[in-house]
Structure 1
């Protein structure tokens, strides 16, 4: 394809998009200079692994750079990928010295946190799929969960413990003899197992070591062994190995393990959150389908359960093409929505900061709230449903029922879904609603507002780095390691939405699910070429629309790929108003002379091809 329309006045969205790339290319260097050593590790003179828990913190080190490979994949500089790789190596060595890793992998912790920490590694693998070191590590990490590895019981199809990793099952929640290891930060969530004899209010147990040990011992027995639903995030680790190497054993395990959870749902209204050492739901919880670690009862409920279900189901569907797997993902969302009620935000103490800008001035206006958790008393902890879950599911499936679920949330919300708020969560998400409205044709000014917001967020993070009072030669203590995430100036949500037609990756361990990807055909690397901007305004399989603009004078060539993994099949492409041309493959090559603009309309079949990390065949692309 060749662009022929000249640009007299560059589109404002295109100018802002290239500005966002430019400001981030400066910002990540400021972060790196301030917070890292010459060998890539973070400046940190304290230690991990010495508290009552002794297992937490690995993810926080990797999370400081989690989206840097994504910036490169979208069109960021070569340097940002080299920096991300260097920081990953440096942090890995740093954590190994602290005894937190074994052979480069987490010694053993829950997959709610491990999934967060693995995002940097997944991004590097996607950016450099031909790298031998990454391929070898990906296969070795995956083998920890395959039959014959230390974590998986193939007879009962369980991951043996909620805490697991390179050292195999890490029973219980602490390596110390105090079995009540959590800090007061968990006090707002209460405690699990409120039905056991040893249960008591949080403050009472915290003040009485003897009672705390007795309670913690019961938690160890009932929640510290057996499978838990958040372990479904481990399917991304194994799917990543498959996409790099194409070995059937990796795909086979993902299907086997997801099927085990599907069968635990079969015949139930609600997907359970636990299975005992013999694969039986409720085996250690007196028959309860709720009560597992990071499950329906404690500490968060739907966010980890829903994320794990979507991650496992989408990985299985990606590898098999079978859409029935997505019923596992839909179940948690539909279950809580059946219990949803309209409440005033002022009456709900658990509204998180993600929603405060949306609800400002509407505190007394009823809005739809769903229960996040379930225990013996029933469903409780009503709050606003995390929109990233139904939006991620719909973007993956493109099914009418998944769109209808979002439409119900929109119709029963009290706030303006078109508004763009300059806010930043550690997940680097939070703008799903205005993006969804843009795709629906109800928010035409979204691209410019979203890009300005991202530029402002990046500037705020750079300012916070300059104002950081922590001694740069010493770094934070173990309680301050989240500050790196809060100050990371790389912001990719806007670029993912606008250039690829995709939401931010689900943070607790998902793989990227981009509708479109780009490769610089001249430089043979991922991402948009220099001076080129892209805007996806429709992601319907039968009518995907993307505009491409070359703001520079030099000609550029790029490959448009359907899907993160070339898994979609493009049937036809129409250039501007010309007749459609046949494609029947995952790639379209576009030539953009200087100062030109083109609009492509694609028809495609989702997941009609075999997914792979491999780069496009470069012959004939220039």
Structure 2
């Protein structure tokens, strides 16, 4: 392994590096107050609030409460976050195995969700993927679970016939360890409830039902309930693409090609359906393999599809996951078309006003009366049609979809897609706005503006914001007097003090993993040689300040005044990239890299190199990179070859 020495002294430590280490330290100290007040000593959580709870929902919310703890560990968080993560996954899995799902068996069967949709499963099992990644392939329990969980969708468990191999489709909108959960679609009246006004109607062809308020009529609610059962229970839906991460996770842990083959075959099936449906991803495929088979031939109306409840916001998340998984597993950029093609569908149908593009987020029966989600209502006075040939709910699209596409492709036309959809009057590209997203993120466009040189203050701005996020949640926990009997399933999510977006952007050069089950896609990973574990060494800060298709620009700083730090730098999260060479300041030169006569080029030619950072020194380089040319795997998380106890073996330590 090539070794490079960073010996350039800095006069004053960079502010961004100090903020990074302050943020890491602050979060290292924030978990214990949460665990002490809101989690039982054995790791079980305080919701459900009654031991006789019955339902099919909210396992995902329990897992989500800790989703980014393994990711924080991989950035450089305390060792205990790895042990805590495994302990919490185990405890929550056992806990929800004690609650009945309402169909005569528990919510969790054989350690896995009994049967639910992949919008929610993808959110919940993000915690599992990151735990597997953080612990590495040496953790036998994670490895066994990963293979078994993926096997639920590969016909390896006779009790879970979720997948039709001949037709390459998943058999239901709700699936899990008990097979397709058609039982969850009971056909009961779909009565009016307050929350439904935010999302509108699943179907617009039910006699007498033109808005959710009509569901207050029991007869009309009964008609809607029967339609949901008949049309949405059976067959494949786009959010099932989230299953590919379960298979890709098993592949990254084991290297067994059957998981890679299944991942690509299933994504290929959806690419074929897009082509068959005239360029638009259909949201329902029947058990016979036909689009619209159970919905009167309509390509829309599926569960978590174009019409209900979230439209593009749910479908787009699945497109991100499918595109990224396909590219990672195959190294073939064609899989990005899954996402790119759907962005083009929206852009082509967009309506522009004052330079701001409003794109449709939903589709329903042409000519129907659509109830735009109150949460996303666009006043008619703005002159934006709420319906156009069946497309409705026109509003600006989140930047994350095009941001993920550009990040993976590094193509100029994909950056133009992102710019085409941005608000020219808004400040989201050059300021840090408050976010209510569950991953505490949402600043993808601001980070990209920084990489373009248009928002130079982004590093300090996002880290300052992240420190405020942590501080606010710590203060809330300190003053929180809510009665635990009143907790809802999301009580821990809104108290989780760990925030990762800024650190992932700046240190690793990537976007946060897509919350609905995406894997981390980053340019750089770090390993602390002294501690034999993933993450930045103590006192080290990292700043990725630029990238293109063939290089990444990074600065690493050792803030310790008397001790050197040694780390291994890896190309990509999984060794999927390869470093070519690094142009950097000569080891004994007090000069900048760019245009300096003291700059030198060091050949690397590998997916890793070792960096020695002398006390009070920094190393800045433009590192050449060939992308998606290596065999991705988790095994590189122990590039030093040291034997370590598994996370499950050490799960009780420090907890």
Relative to the length of structure 1, the TM-score reads 0.92
Cα distance in structure 2, aligned partners of 1:446 and 1:5? 25
Q: Residue in 2 aligned with 1:372?
A: 361
Q: 1:509 and 1:49, CA in 2 relative to 1: closer, same or farther beyond 3 A?
A: farther
Give CA deviations for 1:472-497 in whole Å, capped at 9, x if unaligned.
xx4544xx222321121101000000
1:618 matches 2:621: no
Q: State whether residues 48 and 57 of structure 1, in contact with CA within 8 Å, keep that contact through their aligned partners in structure 2.
A: no
Q: 2:238 aligns with which of 218, 229, 232?
A: 229
Q: Residue in 2 aligned with 1:348?
A: none
Cα distance in structure 2, aligned partners of 1:619 and 1:48? 46
Give CA deviations for 1:526-571 in whole Å, capped at 9, x if unaligned.
0000000000001213231110000012111001111110100111
DSSP-derived class of the 1:470 partner:
coil
Give CA deviations for 1:302-347 in whole Å, capped at 9, x if unaligned.
111111112112212211111111111112211111122234xxxx
Q: 1:272 aligns with which of 275, 282, 285?
A: 282
Q: 2:491 aligns with which of 478, 483, 493?
A: 483
Please state how far the C-alpha of 1:186 moved relative to its aligned partner: 2.4
Q: Residue in 2 aligned with 1:596?
A: 617
Relative to the length of structure 2, the TM-score reads 0.87
Q: Residue in 2 aligned with 1:340?
A: 350
Q: Which piece of structure 1 moves more, 323-332 or 66-75?
A: 323-332
1:101 matches 2:108: yes
Q: Residue in 1 aligned with 2:126?
A: 119
Q: Residue in 1 aligned with 2:44?
A: 41
Task: Spell out the pairing of 1:102-501 with structure 2 (5 A cutoff).
Answer: 102-129=109-136, 130-149=138-157, 150-171=161-182, 173-174=184-185, 176=186, 178-180=188-190, 183-197=193-207, 199-205=209-215, 207-267=216-276, 268-343=278-353, 367-377=356-366, 378-410=390-422, 412-471=424-483, 474-477=484-487, 480-501=488-509
Q: Residue in 1 aligned with 2:516?
A: 508
Please state how far the C-alpha of 1:25 moved relative to its aligned partner: 0.8
- Displaced runs of 4 or more, over 4 A: 47-51
DSSP-derived class of the 1:222 partner:
helix
Please state how far the C-alpha of 1:156 moved relative to its aligned partner: 1.3
Cα distance in structure 1, aligned partners of 2:260 and 2:148? 15
What RMSD, in angstroms, separates the aligned Cα atoms of the two structures? Answer: 1.9
Cα distance in structure 2, aligned partners of 1:198 and 1:161? 29
Q: 1:127 and 1:416, CA in 2 relative to 1: closer, same or farther beyond 3 A?
A: closer
Cα distance in structure 2, aligned partners of 1:329 and 1:475? 43
Give CA deviations for 1:510-529 in whole Å, capped at 9, x if unaligned.
11111111110121100000
1:5 matches 2:8: yes
Cα distance in structure 2, aligned partners of 1:406 and 1:516? 24
How many pairs were matched up?
591
Q: State whether residues 172 and 220 of structure 1, in contact with CA within 8 Å, keep that contact through their aligned partners in structure 2.
A: no
Q: State whether residues 17 and 533 of structure 1, in contact with CA within 8 Å, keep that contact through their aligned partners in structure 2.
A: yes
Please state how far the C-alpha of 1:172 moved relative to its aligned partner: 5.8
Cα distance in structure 2, aligned partners of 1:319 and 1:453? 35
Q: State whether residues 222 and 285 of structure 1, in contact with CA within 8 Å, keep that contact through their aligned partners in structure 2.
A: yes
Give CA deviations for 1:367-402 in whole Å, capped at 9, x if unaligned.
322111111221110112011111112112212221
Q: 1:586 aligns with which of 601, 607, 614?
A: 607
Q: 1:198 and 1:110, CA in 2 relative to 1: closer, same or farther beyond 3 A?
A: farther
1:567 matches 2:605: no
Please state how far the C-alpha of 1:47 moved relative to its aligned partner: 4.7
Cα distance in structure 2, aligned partners of 1:143 and 1:501? 33
Cα distance in structure 2, aligned partners of 1:325 and 1:45? 41
Cα distance in structure 1, aligned partners of 2:184 and 2:397? 29
